């Protein structure tokens, strides 16, 4: 017996033979085999078809020319950078063993059997059909959805009906199955239900489902009806009336989704702004230091997260998700220490010269950027923990991404933490005393130097936490502080009113929500979009500062005595 | 003046021909451009090990224009006038090329430019070794429309010249293919844009019909938040595939790849091209990075601009050897129509328009940050310096620069 | 807070320094073959930065207002000149239906509406006034002055001060940068204005549009053999690159002249600033810096003086921009990124805040260093890599702020000022 057959018993089955046929040079045999495979409803085949479509399925013929179907997705390199292709079994996905070790031939030994262009769409639709039988929730959901997307798969209708009527099945999947089925009827893809009445009936069902997918097809459908010669004027206008009724129905739903979506996005963006401005609210707001290196402290937090990830060995394939929780306190500490050093060397000389502190901290920022760039040489990819991918569908069509929810929580937590420290602890009381009247505090025995140092470290640490949080939604580069954060965070603090925590929260959330409400606005043919949105927002803030030169809440603390 | 100070400290080498390397090593573009400096240095090392060019060793003069466009012109002047380089390899962004172009034209010097760009330029003092729009954009759009069956197109880009011009070409192409205007959306974000929530929700609405795709010219650091948000709002490459024109292996190295898996990119070269030549190119690049102690070391990858920068040096060498001289005008004539072997396969220079004939590939992003090639063009695609979609009458502007300074040869 | 009092009366030293260095020494070095025309060109550009720094020094050093959008005003002047030069620019570009040439830099990125094609592109109306050179110069000065007046009027009246003003101006710088990067504002997007060819052709001096310019030129050259406008007659408009008019920007003589004009402007700006500082007005300005509430109490309206100083600074920035473009031959939105304006502050701080000579010195020194340190250098014992430049710059900020609060100029004339400061200190103690 051939070694490969021992290693991969699945090849001996009927499915195995069909798969072997894919290596045939006869297009008809390949085509028939694909059709047969799709009919088997074997859940293992879904993944196989995905790989087959992608071109990751190969024939690795033995020396005697026996067909061996294998899978290779990614190649590996040895220490001398020679490239090899580790092989996998096409059905089980386990390593493809030859003599008990995974086969790793040279890539050039593999024979490409990827489907020809003509067969691609067939492979694709077979893939979606097979997904209906998958045991994985997300795969099944995507199969149920894709069957009802163009180009439609009427062959799936019996299965879809089965799924839709299956009481034990997940609600979302059942809903999507119904939707997909009706969408196919609506599009006229189902031979048995091609009449206009049938299609209108399907549409009314979709209206009841408040299907956004149907909404996207309304125009096409209406256009199709108009070009139908067999419809009388009366019928046409009736059909149109019912379409516009349904359009209105779904439109209401869509408006709700959009509005609540925009509000959530605004709050989420606002929470990010609050988070990035929070550290600055302490160093700038309370202490009066124009800390232009604030963004770089965030960058330090982000790079610390990266280092912690490396330390835990987290990769997408081999997730060690708790690295992300461990990184939170570490990022805080590292950034706080950097802040402490910065305070000791530079900032402490500049408490009375705010404008000069701007220059010096800018210099420190440049220095930090370049040092990080020299060490890491490049930007780096922080891999988010796997739970941060995807979102939570709170009601039909309103998805709240987990990453955003986490950030929202993180910023609530950080605000709470700062509030607690400043308002409820003795340390916080000393901070307030020192910032409001340094001389008096000093004469009462407060060691103001130490308080300064610790306050600055606290602000820096919170900046580090912001950088840590940022990695879950954004990229990490050495100059991320300068390009992304510094202007925004100062604007938030200044708008909110220097020295007032509540001001930062209000202005951060306000700016966030306002941005997200302005961005999608359409005035005539002009869509505001992100660029003009940002310009308009900046203009609004400039206008607002005219109106309230000291922000939402008047400043207290050191800055109030000075200017 | 400053250059003269520098000159006082450098040691002249006998029997060496100087070439200039004009890539940003600091500032925002350093992330992309340092790799090109590295690969040019590697090519120089290889050439020197093989006996140099016309019996002379090649000495590379490296300067840092620091991602500062005016400084590109400054450094170009320094390379040409003070260092007397025979040829310069450099630039990444269009604006940096535009900034030093007058210098190359005034001095009648030669620049090899290795990055895909928006076209609409043809200077006799520049050889463009990367793609012009018709070698990347149009085949990709065609792939989406014909192979993927997409009927709706969302053109999304960073707001600068390449995406603007690229989308102009794409829109003209799609119109010619009979795609109605309402099925084409266009949207731009500022540089370094980070919050893609609104845009992704719009995409979601646009793609609800199930036959939409995104043609993305998003640049640099904005890609990370974009793909992350895309995945987080529950969209996948099945719902709405993204075809990217500015995401290569080198950029993927710096990204959280899982959200990108299954999406596409169009280039003229991928590291995963399966030929012996390419395998040895990848191997020697990695070895070079390890031996030179460069950051990243063995994790370094090759990509389209890296290949273009690399073979640019060899094109110059071949042309010099063909004409037996370092003289710019002779070398220029020798480059026209030159056929050569690049790591990604045989290519050739266009006989007149300064650009390069290249194959087109479309790749699907894999988990390991490499591409699975899912489409390759039949043979080489001829470059358009000016897009025929923007100049339908074919009445292109004259070339500029050259020996007489007026675009004549 | 009384600092820099010794600089209230600007010495004559800077005056002679500019004359000697700018008008005599550098041109002499050029004629002697030691400096190349490229160096002259570069120094000319750095001199425009010195003008920019002068404006900021007046504002920050004397009035105590830190503006972080000076490069935005600079770009207003620069874009004015850029549009002017583009009108008369190189051979590429196409003629629109009104007979205006759409320069290549604009044409490539022209934002068509859906359904429009290249034939529908038009030179935007706001480009047209910049055809004429005198108008361009006036607009290049008036636009930043007006913008700063409007901004200053609102901001200073509502008593936005200090840090708030700095942050506000930075926000404005970012907003303007975003707008200039847009293609739909028809300012050529991020690639900026480029492909300039000639300056001051006769058509740009006496006419206001290309049609008149072409007619004029035809009249003047009726007998000339060059009468066929573009030799092949393909374009029926005057093409400067073919018709030999104006001063080519790549001609060394023209570059030297531009350099000399720049030095003269720097000299003039310096005189203006010195006059302001030394007058009674200057004393009010310093009083605003040192104790605004008291000044208010005396019945002055500080905001009018602030607006005045802000406008002067902006106009000088515009002037610098006008002079910069013909020497750089490209202007892009990257010139107005927020970081750039912070750099101006650095020049002033390094040179010496509150000293006009210091501002000039700072602008020249920092830029020369920047240019020098962004190349590789081998000093035998030490290998300088361009990578180190930002670290050097960062350290320079810190050192200057902490150890040299009055900047380099302090080192230059320490001997001279010691006696001066002593006498002032004496006065202080007496009073």
pLDDT tens-place string over residues B300-339: 899 999 999 999 999 999 999 999 999 999 999 999 999 9
| pLDDT score of A1 more than 60 | no
Chains that touch C (3 or more CB pairs under 8 A): A, B
The domain segmentation of chain C, as residue ranges, is: 5-111+125-200+246-375+384-430
pLDDT tens-place string over residues A499-529: 778 889 999 999 999 999 998 888 877 888 8
- Which helix (H) or strand (E) covers residue A71, if one does? strand A69-71
List CB contacts (< 8 A) between B400 and chain C: 90-92
Answer yes or no: are the C-beta atoms of A152 and A71 closer than 8 Å: no
Provide, rounded to the nearest whole percent, the portion of chain C with pLDDT above 90.
35
* Residue C181 near chain B (CB below 8 Å): yes
| Shortest Cα–Cα distance, A402 to chain B (Å) | 7
* Residue B346 near chain C (CB below 8 Å): no
- Cα separation, A255 vs A253, in Å, equals 5
Q: What structural domains does chain B harbor?
A: 2-6+15-131+290-357 (3.40.50.2300), 137-244 (3.40.50.2300)
Strands (E), B170-283: 184-189, 212-217, 242-244, 264-267
Report pLDDT for B13.
46
Please report where in the chains the tokens 């099925």 appear, as a residue.
Answer: B183
Q: DSSP characters for A458-471?
A: HHHHHHHHHHHHHT
* Residue B91 near chain C (CB below 8 Å): no
Answer yes or no: are the C-beta atoms of B198 and A516 closer than 8 Å: yes
Confidence of residue C55 (pLDDT cuts 50, 70, 90): very high
pLDDT tens-place string over residues B222-264: 888 899 999 888 898 989 999 999 999 988 887 888 888 899 9
Whether C163 sits inside 8 A of A359 (CB atoms) is no
Q: DSSP characters for C328-396?
A: HS-B-GGGGSHHHHHHHHHHHHHH-TT-HHHHHHHHHHHHHHHHHHTB-EE-SS-EE-GGGHHHHHHHH
| pLDDT score of A476 more than 70 | yes
Q: Among A371, A531, A563, select the one facing C178 at the smallest CB separation.
A: A531
- Hey, which of A389-403, C5-19, C28-42, C308-322 has the most confident mean pLDDT? C308-322
Answer yes or no: are the C-beta atoms of C128 and C136 closer than 8 Å: no
Report pLDDT for C12.
67
Report pLDDT for B192.
83
For residue A427, count other CB atoms closer than 10 A to its CB.
14
Residue B87: phi and psi, rounded to 5, are: -160, 155
For residue A370, count other CB atoms closer than 10 A to its CB.
23
Select the residue from B195, B212, B294 to test the A interface by mutation, using most A Cβ atoms within 10 A. B195
- Cα separation, A275 vs C350, in Å, equals 34
* Residue A539 near chain C (CB below 8 Å): yes
Ranges A343-347, A398-402, B359-363, C381-385: which has the least confidence: C381-385
Average pLDDT value for residue range A85-96: 87
Q: Residue A403 gets which letter from DSSP?
A: H
Nearest to B32 by CA among B111, B97, B115, B95: B115
Whether B211 sits inside 8 A of A80 (CB atoms) is no
* Residue B106 near chain C (CB below 8 Å): yes
- Cα separation, A340 vs A463, in Å, equals 13
Q: DSSP characters for C71-102?
A: HHHHHHHHHHHHHHHHHT--S-SEE-TTS-EE
In sequence order, what are the beta bridge partners of B189? B158
- Residues B64, B66, B72, B78, Cα dihedral to 10°: -30
| Shortest Cα–Cα distance, A293 to chain B (Å) | 17
Q: Residue C5 gets which letter from DSSP?
A: G
Residue A110: phi and psi, rounded to 5, are: -85, 145
* Residue C321 near chain B (CB below 8 Å): no
Select the residue from B256, B302, B306, B374 to test the A interface by mutation, using most A Cβ atoms within 10 A. B256
| Shortest Cα–Cα distance, A207 to chain B (Å) | 15
Q: Which of residues 69-88 of B touch C (CB under 8 A)?
A: 69-71, 73-75, 77-78, 81
Answer yes or no: are the C-beta atoms of C170 and C341 closer than 8 Å: yes
Q: At what angle do helices A486-496 and A501-518 cross, to 10 degrees?
A: 120
List CB contacts (< 8 A) between A371 and chain C: 391
Select the residue from C26, C37, C330, C333 to test the B interface by mutation, using most B Cβ atoms within 10 A. C330
Report pLDDT for B386.
86
Average pLDDT value for residue range A389-406: 88
Q: Among A108, A120, A370, select the one facing B26 at the smallest CB separation.
A: A370
| pLDDT score of B382 more than 90 | yes
List CB contacts (< 8 A) between A382 and chain B: 256
pLDDT tens-place string over residues B335-352: 999 999 999 999 999 999
Q: Tell me the three state secondary structure of residue B127.
A: strand
Count contacts between B and C (CB, < 8 Å).
139
Q: Which of residues 10-69 of C touch B (CB under 8 A)?
A: 35-36, 38-39, 42-43, 45
Chains that touch A (3 or more CB pairs under 8 A): B, C
- Cα separation, A184 vs A205, in Å, equals 12
ipTM: 0.88
Handedness of CA C204, C209, C214, C215 (dihedral sign): negative
- Cα separation, C211 vs C215, in Å, equals 6
List CB contacts (< 8 A) between A526 and chain C: none
* Residue B167 near chain C (CB below 8 Å): no
- Which helix (H) or strand (E) covers residue B18, if one does? strand B16-22
Ranges A224-228, A469-473, B193-197, C45-49: which has the least confidence: A224-228
List CB contacts (< 8 A) between B370 and chain A: 74-75
In the structure encoding, which two tokens stand for residue C219, read together? 């009249």
In A, minimum Cα distance to B376 occurs at: A117
Ranges A353-367, B198-212, C208-222, C395-409: which has the least confidence: C208-222
* Residue A527 near chain C (CB below 8 Å): no
Q: At what angle do helices A323-345 and A354-376 cross, to 10 degrees?
A: 130
Q: What structural domains does chain A harbor?
A: 3-117 (no CATH), 135-231 (no CATH), 256-562 (1.10.3470)
Confidence of residue C117 (pLDDT cuts 50, 70, 90): low
CA distances from B338 to A258, B281, B312, B356 (A): 57, 21, 12, 10
Handedness of CA C235, C238, C243, C248 (dihedral sign): negative
Length of chain C: 431
Please report where in the chains the tokens 């005219």 appear, as a residue.
Answer: A546
Contacts of B388 (CB under 8 A, 6+ apart): B134, B394
Report pLDDT for C244.
56
pLDDT tens-place string over residues C145-174: 999 999 999 888 887 777 788 888 988 998
Report pLDDT for A62.
86
For residue B341, count other CB atoms closer than 10 A to its CB.
13
| pLDDT score of C8 more than 60 | no
| pLDDT score of B9 more than 80 | no
Confidence of residue C383 (pLDDT cuts 50, 70, 90): confident
Whether B197 sits inside 8 A of A382 (CB atoms) is no
Whether A542 sits inside 8 A of C168 (CB atoms) is yes
Q: Among C167, C338, C398, select the one facing A494 at the smallest CB separation.
A: C167
In sequence order, what are the beta bridge partners of B406? B401
Answer yes or no: are the C-beta atoms of B204 and B172 closer than 8 Å: no
Ranges A287-291, A554-558, B184-188: which has the least confidence: A554-558
Report pLDDT for C10.
53
Whether B232 sits inside 8 A of A402 (CB atoms) is yes
List CB contacts (< 8 A) between C387 and chain B: 25-26, 64
* Residue C134 near chain B (CB below 8 Å): no
Whether B5 sits inside 8 A of C372 (CB atoms) is yes
Q: Among B5, B95, B118, select the one facing C332 at the smallest CB separation.
A: B95
Confidence of residue B12 (pLDDT cuts 50, 70, 90): very low
Q: Among C182, C346, C389, select the one facing A359 at the smallest CB separation.
A: C346
| Shortest Cα–Cα distance, C317 to chain A (Å) | 21
- Cα separation, A222 vs A215, in Å, equals 11
The vertex-A275 CA angle with A273 and A281, nearest 5°, equals 95
Please confirm whether the linkage preceding A151 is cis (ω < 30° from 0).
Answer: yes
List CB contacts (< 8 A) between C194 and chain B: 98-99, 101-102
Q: Tell me the three state secondary structure of residue B156.
A: strand
- Cα separation, C379 vs A125, in Å, equals 67
Confidence of residue C326 (pLDDT cuts 50, 70, 90): very high
Residue B355: phi and psi, rounded to 5, are: -100, -175
Name the pairing type of β-strands B339-342 and B371-376: unpaired
Report pLDDT for C276.
92
Select the residue from A379, A384, A511 to test the B interface by mutation, using most B Cβ atoms within 10 A. A379
In C, minimum Cα distance to B106 occurs at: C250
Report pLDDT for C6.
46
Ranges C46-55, C137-146, C414-423: which has the least confidence: C414-423
The vertex-A537 CA angle with A534 and A539, nearest 5°, equals 110
Using CB atoms within 10 Å of the CB of residue B123, give its burial: 0 to 12 exposed, 13 to 18 middle, 19+ buried. Answer: buried
Please report where in the chains the tokens 């979102």 appear, as a residue.
Answer: A391
Answer yes or no: are the C-beta atoms of A406 and A339 closer than 8 Å: no
Q: What is the CA B102 to chain-centroid distance, rounded?
A: 21
Nearest to C285 by CA among C300, C268, C270: C300
Q: Which of residues 311-370 of A touch C (CB under 8 A)?
A: 346, 349-350, 354-356, 358-360, 362-370
Whether B221 sits inside 8 A of A399 (CB atoms) is no
- Cα separation, A267 vs A271, in Å, equals 6
- Cα separation, B287 vs B290, in Å, equals 5
pLDDT tens-place string over residues B108-138: 999 999 999 988 889 999 999 999 988 999 9
Average pLDDT value for residue range A543-554: 79
Contacts of B38 (CB under 8 A, 6+ apart): B288, B289, B292, B294, B300
Name the pairing type of β-strands B57-63 and B16-22: parallel
In the structure encoding, which two tokens stand for residue A323, read together? 């690295």
pLDDT tens-place string over residues C69-88: 999 999 999 999 999 999 88
| pLDDT score of B4 more than 50 | no
* Residue C111 near chain B (CB below 8 Å): yes
In sequence order, what are the beta bridge partners of A407? none
In the structure encoding, which two tokens stand for residue B133, read together? 């729009």
* Residue B191 near chain C (CB below 8 Å): yes
pLDDT tens-place string over residues C213-272: 877 777 777 666 555 554 444 445 555 545 556 788 888 999 999 999 999 999 999 999
In the structure encoding, which two tokens stand for residue A7, read together? 């290693």
| Neighbouring C-alpha atoms within 13 Å toward the C-beta of A504 | 30
Confidence of residue A175 (pLDDT cuts 50, 70, 90): very high
| Shortest Cα–Cα distance, B190 to chain C (Å) | 7
Whether C190 sits inside 8 A of B160 (CB atoms) is yes
Provide, rounded to the nearest whole percent, the portion of chain A with pLDDT above 70.
95
Report pLDDT for B85.
95
Answer yes or no: are the C-beta atoms of B384 and B132 closer than 8 Å: yes
What is the end-to-end Cα distance of chain C in Å, rounded? 15
| Shortest Cα–Cα distance, A196 to chain B (Å) | 20
Ranges A124-138, B86-100, B139-153, C39-53: which has the least confidence: A124-138
Ranges B160-164, B199-203, C260-264: which has the least confidence: B160-164
Report pLDDT for A378.
63
Average pLDDT value for residue range B60-83: 89
Q: Among B6, B64, B94, select the one facing C191 at the smallest CB separation.
A: B94
In sequence order, what are the beta bridge partners of B59? B18
Average pLDDT value for residue range A424-432: 91
Q: Among B71, B191, B400, select the one facing C374 at the smallest CB separation.
A: B71
């Amino acid at each position: 017996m051939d070694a490969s057959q021992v290693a991969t018993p699945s090849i001996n089955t009927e499915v195995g033979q069909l798969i072997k046929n894919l290596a045939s040079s006869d297009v008809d045999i390949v085509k028939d085999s694909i059709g047969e495979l799709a009919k088997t409803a074997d859940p293992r085949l879904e993944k196989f078809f995905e790989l087959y479509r992608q071109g990751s399925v190969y024939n690795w013929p033995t020396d005697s020319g026996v067909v061996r179907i294998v899978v290779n997705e990614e190649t590996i390199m040895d220490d001398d950078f020679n490239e090899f292709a580790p092989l996998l079994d096409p059905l089980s996905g386990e390593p493809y063993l030859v003599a008990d070790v995974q086969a790793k031939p040279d890539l050039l030994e593999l024979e490409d059997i990827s489907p020809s262009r003509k067969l691609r769409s067939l492979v694709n639709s077979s893939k979606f059909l097979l997904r209906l039988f998958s045991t994985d929730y997300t795969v099944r959901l995507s199969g149920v959805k894709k069957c009802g997307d163009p180009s439609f798969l009427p062959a799936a209708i019996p299965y879809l009906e089965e799924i839709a009527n299956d009481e034990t099945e997940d609600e979302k999947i059942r809903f999507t199955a119904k939707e997909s089925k009706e969408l196919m009827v609506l599009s006229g893809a189902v031979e048995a239900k091609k009449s206009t009445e049938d299609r209108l009936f399907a549409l009314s069902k979709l209206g009841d489902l408040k299907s956004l997918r149907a909404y996207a097809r309304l125009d096409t459908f209406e256009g199709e009806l108009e070009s139908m010669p067999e419809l009388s004027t009366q019928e046409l206008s009736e059909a149109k009336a019912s379409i516009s009724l349904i359009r209105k129905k779904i439109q209401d739903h869509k408006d709700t989704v959009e509005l609540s979506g925009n509000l959530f996005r605004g709050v989420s963006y606002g929470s990010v702004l609050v988070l990035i401005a929070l550290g600055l609210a302490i160093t700038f707001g309370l202490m009066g230091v124009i800390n232009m290196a604030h963004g770089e402290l965030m960058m330090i937090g982000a790079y610390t997260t990266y280092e912690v990830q490396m330390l835990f060995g987290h990769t997408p394939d081999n997730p060690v998700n708790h690295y992300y929780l461990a990184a939170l306190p570490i990022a805080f500490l590292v950034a706080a220490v950097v802040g402490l050093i910065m305070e000791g060397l530079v900032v402490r000389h500049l408490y009375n010269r705010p404008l000069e502190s701007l220059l010096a901290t800018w210099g420190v920022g440049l220095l930090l950027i370049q040092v990080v760039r020299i060490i890491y040489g490049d930007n780096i990819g922080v891999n988010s923990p796997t739970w941060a991918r995807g979102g939570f569908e709170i009601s039909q069509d309103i998805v709240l991404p987990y990453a955003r929810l986490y950030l929202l929580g993180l910023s609530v937590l950080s605000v709470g933490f700062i509030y607690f420290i400043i308002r409820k602890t003795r340390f916080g009381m000393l901070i307030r005393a020192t910032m409001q009247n340094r001389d008096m505090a000093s004469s009462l025995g407060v060691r103001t130097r130490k308080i300064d140092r610790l306050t600055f470290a606290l602000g820096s640490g919170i900046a580090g936490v912001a950088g840590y949080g940022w990695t879950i939604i954004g990229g990490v580069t050495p100059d991320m502080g300068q390009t992304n954060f510094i202007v925004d965070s100062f604007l938030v603090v200044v708008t909110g009113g220097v020295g007032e925590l509540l001001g930062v929260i209000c202005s951060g959330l306000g700016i966030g929500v306002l941005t997200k409400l302005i961005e999608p606005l359409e005035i005539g043919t002009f869509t505001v979009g992100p660029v003009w949105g940002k310009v308009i927002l900046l203009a609004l803030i400039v206008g607002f500062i005219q109106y309230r030169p000291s922000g939402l809440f008047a400043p207290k603390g050191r800055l109030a005595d000075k200017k | 003046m400053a250059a003269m100070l520098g000159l006082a400290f450098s040691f002249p080498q006998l029997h060496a021909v100087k070439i200039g390397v004009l890539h940003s090593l600091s500032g925002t573009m350093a992330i992309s451009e340092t790799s090109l400096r590295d690969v040019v240095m590697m090519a120089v090392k290889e050439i020197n090990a093989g006996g140099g060019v016309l019996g002379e060793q090649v000495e590379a003069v490296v300067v840092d224009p620091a991602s500062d466009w005016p400084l590109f012109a400054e450094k170009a002047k320094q390379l040409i006038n003070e260092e007397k380089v025979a040829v310069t390899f450099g630039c990444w962004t269009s604006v940096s090329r535009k900034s030093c172009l007058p210098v190359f034209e005034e001095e009648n010097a030669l620049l090899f430019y290795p990055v895909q760009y928006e076209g609409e330029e043809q200077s006799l003092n520049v050889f463009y070794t990367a793609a012009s729009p018709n070698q990347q954009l149009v085949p990709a759009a065609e792939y989406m429309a014909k192979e993927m069956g997409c009927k709706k197109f969302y053109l999304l880009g960073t707001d600068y010249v390449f995406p603007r011009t690229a989308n102009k070409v794409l829109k003209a192409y799609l119109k010619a293919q009979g795609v109605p205007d309402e099925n084409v959306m266009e949207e731009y974000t500022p540089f370094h844009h980070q919050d893609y929530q609104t845009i992704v929700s719009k995409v979601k609405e646009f793609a609800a019909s199930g036959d939409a795709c995104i043609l993305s010219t998003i640049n640099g650091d904005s890609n990370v938040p974009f793909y992350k948000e895309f995945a987080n709002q529950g969209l996948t490459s099945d719902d709405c595939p993204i075809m990217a024109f500015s995401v290569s292996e080198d950029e993927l190295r710096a990204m959280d790849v899982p959200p990108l898996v299954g999406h596409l990119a169009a280039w003229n070269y991928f590291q995963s091209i399966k030929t012996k030549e390419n395998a040895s190119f990848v191997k020697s690049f990695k070895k070079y990075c390890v031996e030179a102690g460069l950051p990243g070391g063995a994790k370094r990858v090759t990509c389209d601009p890296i290949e273009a920068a690399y073979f640019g040096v060899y094109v110059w060498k071949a042309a010099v050897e063909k004409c037996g001289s370092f003289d710019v005008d002779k070398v220029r004539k020798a480059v026209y129509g030159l056929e050569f072997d690049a790591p990604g396969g045989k290519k050739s220079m266009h006989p007149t328009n300064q650009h390069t004939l290249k194959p087109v590939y479309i790749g699907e992003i894999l988990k390991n940050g490499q591409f699975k090639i899912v489409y390759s063009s039949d043979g080489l695609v001829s470059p358009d310096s000016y897009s025929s979609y923007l100049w339908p009458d074919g009445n292109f502007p004259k070339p500029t620069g050259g020996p007489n300074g007026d675009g004549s040869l | 807070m009384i600092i820099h009092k010794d600089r209230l009366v600007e010495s004559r030293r800077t005056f002679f320094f500019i004359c000697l260095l700018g008008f005599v020494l550098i041109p002499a070095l050029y004629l002697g073959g030691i400096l190349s025309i490229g160096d002259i060109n570069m120094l000319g550009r750095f001199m425009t930065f010195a003008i920019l720094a002068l404006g900021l020094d007046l504002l920050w050093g004397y009035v105590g207002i830190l503006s972080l959008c000076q490069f935005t005003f600079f770009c207003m002047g620069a874009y004015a000149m850029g549009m002017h030069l583009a009108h008369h620019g190189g051979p590429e570009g196409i003629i629109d239906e009104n007979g205006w040439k759409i320069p290549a830099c604009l044409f490539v990125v022209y934002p068509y509406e859906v359904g429009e094609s290249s034939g529908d592109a038009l030179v935007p109306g706001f480009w047209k006034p910049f055809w004429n050179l005198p108008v361009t110069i006036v607009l290049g000065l008036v636009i930043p002055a007006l913008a700063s007046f409007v901004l200053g009027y609102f901001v200073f009246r509502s008593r936005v001060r200090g840090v708030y003003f700095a942050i506000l101006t930075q926000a404005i710088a970012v907003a303007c940068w975003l707008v200039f990067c847009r293609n739909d504002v028809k300012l050529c997007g991020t690639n900026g204005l480029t492909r300039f060819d000639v300056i001051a052709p006769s058509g740009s001096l006496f006419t206001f549009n290309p049609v008149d310019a072409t007619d004029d030129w035809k009249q003047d050259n009726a007998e000339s053999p060059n009468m066929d406008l573009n030799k092949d007659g393909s374009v029926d408009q005057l093409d400067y690159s073919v018709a030999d008019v104006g001063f080519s920007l790549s001609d060394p003589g023209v570059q030297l002249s531009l350099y000399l004009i720049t030095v003269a402007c720097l000299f003039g700006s310096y005189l203006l600033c010195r006059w302001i500082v030394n007058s009674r007005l200057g004393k009010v300005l310093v009083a605003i810096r040192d104790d605004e509430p008291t000044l208010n109490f005396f019945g002055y309206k500080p905001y009018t003086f602030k607006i005045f100083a802000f406008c002067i600074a902006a106009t000088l920035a515009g002037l610098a921009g006008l002079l910069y473009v013909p020497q750089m031959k490209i202007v892009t939105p990257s010139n107005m990124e927020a970081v750039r304006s912070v750099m101006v502050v650095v020049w002033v701080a390094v040179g010496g805040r509150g000293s006009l000579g210091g501002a000039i010195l700072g602008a020249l020194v920092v830029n020369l260093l920047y240019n020098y340190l962004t190349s590789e250098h081998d000093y035998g014992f030490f290998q300088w890599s361009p990578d180190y430049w930002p670290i050097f710059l960062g350290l320079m900020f810190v050192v200057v702020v902490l150890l040299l609060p009055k900047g380099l100029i302090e080192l230059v004339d320490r001997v001279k000022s010691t006696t001066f400061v002593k006498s002032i200190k004496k006065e202080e103690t007496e009073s």
